[in-house]
Amino acid sequence: QQQVKQSPQSLIVQKGGISIINCAYENTAFDYFPWYQQFPGKGPALLIAIRPDVSEKKEGRFTISFNKSAKQFSLHIMDSQPGDSATYFCAASRGTSYDKVIFGPGTSLSVIP
């Protein structure tokens, strides 16, 4: 029940295209859903996050869509760029109680020119 599932494992997108990564969770106690971006040799960096009281959050080219009833959420990267090539992790936690973050297994995104 603590698991966060993520797909696809890897993704290749043409420059200018839309990258879509999907995640699902089971634990209804989760109330904070961040996405992290990780470049090789670096630590994860928060990209964008959402709480279940909204169905969508957009920041620049990055949008999270959230479906509370289905316990699913997804990241859309519009106008994907080669600089977006990285590993993306969806995650979940009980944010209000300083809880550990449960990470998905990650998606390796490659944006080709």
Q: Determine, following the binding rule CB under 8 A, whether residue 71 of this chain makes contact with other proteins.
A: no
Nearer to other proteins, 18 or 46 (CB): 46
Nearer to other proteins, 34 or 62 (CB): 34
Q: Burial code of 33-52, b = ≥16 C-beta within 10 A, e = fewer?
A: bbbbbbeeeeebeebbbbee
Q: Measured from the CB of residue 15, what is the shortest distance to other proteins in angstroms?
A: 25
Q: Determine, following the binding rule CB under 8 A, whether residue 65 of this chain makes contact with other proteins.
A: no
Q: Determine, following the binding rule CB under 8 A, whether residue 11 of this chain makes contact with other proteins.
A: no
SS3 (DSSP) at 95? helix
Both tokens of 1, joined, read 């029940």
Q: Measured from the CB of residue 41, what is the shortest distance to other proteins in angstroms?
A: 8
Q: Measured from the CB of residue 16, what is the shortest distance to other proteins in angstroms?
A: 28
Query: How many helices (H) and strands (E) in the chain?
Result: 0, 11
Among candidate residues 89, 107, 113, 103, the one with its CA nearest the CA of residue 17: 113
Query: Where does this chain bind other proteins (CB under 8 A)?
Result: 6, 32, 34, 36, 42-46, 49, 89, 93, 95-96, 98-106
